[in-house]
Amino acid sequence: MNFHCTRSSFGDDPYGLSKNDIGNGWQLFLDDGWTEQSGVFYKGIGSSWCKIHTDTHVHIETNQLRDFPIYHNDDSVSNFIKLQHNVPVDGVVHVDGKIRIEFQKDFYPEKSEDPLSFQECHKILFDTLVKNISSFDTQNNHPVLIPVQNGIDTLTVRSVFDHLGVKYQTFDLRDRPKFSRLGEKLFDENWGFKQVMEASGSVIVTGFYGDEYVLRNPYYVNALLHDRGVDLLDEIQKTGNSYMTKYILSYGRTLEKYKKIDHDKLLSMICNDFQIWHLNDTYFFSPLKDVRLLGLLNADNQTVLSQITNAGLSRSIIEKCNPKLMGLIDAEKNHTDPSWFDNPEYLKLTQNKI
């Protein structure tokens, strides 16, 4: 789901994209997997898609929580070439003579003051995953692949596939995968693409966004707890070794620096975190990215601490859906990941958003 729309010279395209003249001197370059009908280019699956309208003027339409960044300058719009300006997730791109951004009203959910118990949070997470995976299954006609990884988020998602009886095949990423030319660029510049592969005509199911939407991103949870008078590092010291201990401590003093993030800023940071999107004719399904899961920010302190230290909420889903997977969970976050997964730039990327 990669595009570059421009009225300036693109030079010798090094990525093997298709070129489409869309009028008024504009050209649209696309990776594989797009279809076109009556001037509307489309690519995606039910939960993650993009339409580029070119019939009257250029208009980029996506699912509610767009899965990719958008950049623009005065004469180009792209989601894989970094340009002068970023388009926030609530921004809609129009090109009618010039590039303009229209912002959606009431995009972010309102803050609730009512704390949620562990069981209420469990229900939100379970119901959201069941709805997302059930909907995906009814619409999908591609082979489904799930990586053999021991991370909590992948196993949480996989357990719900098992619970619903949705068929899939597993694959192991023990060797660095080979990518297309475009894939190599995304691999080099975006940490999420270091943890996937290209599998032509297939959907790869991921646990991406689990930290962000399910209360395990250290920056976000630290700010959430600080607003309630709770110090995350103090609580980590009390718990001793847990699934998240070493990972949280790796953030070091930067946690102290970024304690004060208000609720609106926190929502914006979570929703503008773009980790993975379709590449050529490989599709990615990330059911943990869902606006309903933002309600977990209202979890009570005990639930938040259970999740940020030992992934208590996520474990409760696995225990309910397929307890056989419990024994596969790593003792520590990222403990058995391949070496090329280790990416300090994600920490830097998060810092830059604060």
User: Residue 343: its pLDDT value, please?
Assistant: 54
Overall size of the chain counted in residues: 354
For residue 353, pLDDT beyond 60: no
Express each pLDDT in 300-343 by its tens digit. 999 999 999 999 999 999 999 999 999 999 998 877 776 656 55
User: Residue 241: its pLDDT value, please?
Assistant: 87
User: In the chain, pLDDT over 90 holds for what percent of residues?
Assistant: 79
In 144-293, the DSSP E strands lie at 144-147, 169-171, 203-205, 283-285
Express each pLDDT in 75-122 by its tens digit. 999 999 999 999 999 999 999 889 999 999 999 998 888 999 999 999
**Residue 315: helix, strand or coil by DSSP?**
helix
Report, as an integer, the average pLDDT of 53-57.
Answer: 91
* Beta carbons within 10 angstroms of residue 178's beta carbon: 9
Q: Is the model more confident about 26 or about 256?
A: 26
Parse the chain into domains and list their residue ranges: 3-103, 118-353
Q: Report the number of secondary-structure helices (H) and strands (E) in the chain.
A: 12, 16
Distance CA 6, CA 229 (A): 49
Report, as an integer, the average pLDDT of 33-59.
Answer: 95
User: Residue 341: its pLDDT value, please?
Assistant: 63
Express each pLDDT in 116-132 by its tens digit. 999 999 999 999 999 99
Task: Enter the DSSP assignment of 299.
Answer: B
Cβ atoms of 70 and 79 within 8 Å: the answer is: yes
Contacts of 293 (CB under 8 A, 6+ apart): 124, 125, 128, 213, 214
User: Residue 177: its pLDDT value, please?
Assistant: 87
Task: Enter the DSSP assignment of 323.
Answer: G
Backbone φ and ψ of 130, nearest 5°: -60, -45
Confidence at 346, pLDDT banded by 50, 70, 90: very low
The sign of the CA dihedral 195, 207, 52, 35 is positive
User: Residue 342: its pLDDT value, please?
Assistant: 59
Report, as an integer, the average pLDDT of 269-286.
Answer: 97
Distance CA 59, CA 51 (A): 8
Q: Is the model more confident about 296 or about 333?
A: 296
Confidence at 252, pLDDT banded by 50, 70, 90: confident
- Tell me the angle at which helices 218-226 and 263-271 cross, rounded to the nearest 10 degrees: 170
Distance CA 69, CA 79 (A): 5
CA-closest candidate to residue 271, choices 293, 256, 255: 293
Express the helix, strand and coil content of the chain in percent, nearest 5 each.
40, 20, 40
pTM listed for this prediction: 0.93
Confidence at 351, pLDDT banded by 50, 70, 90: very low
Distance CA 200, CA 273 (A): 26
Q: Is the model more confident about 19 or about 257?
A: 19
Only one residue has tokens 């419990």, namely 326
Confidence at 345, pLDDT banded by 50, 70, 90: very low
> What mean pLDDT is reported for the chain?
92
Burial of 108 (0-12, 13-18, 19+ CB in 10 A): middle
Report, as an integer, the average pLDDT of 230-244.
Answer: 90
User: Residue 347: its pLDDT value, please?
Assistant: 44
Task: Enter the DSSP assignment of 282.
Answer: B
User: Residue 340: its pLDDT value, please?
Assistant: 59
User: Residue 256: its pLDDT value, please?
Assistant: 81
How far does Cα 278 stand from its chain's mean position? 11
Distance CA 278, CA 271 (A): 18
Distance CA 288, CA 209 (A): 6
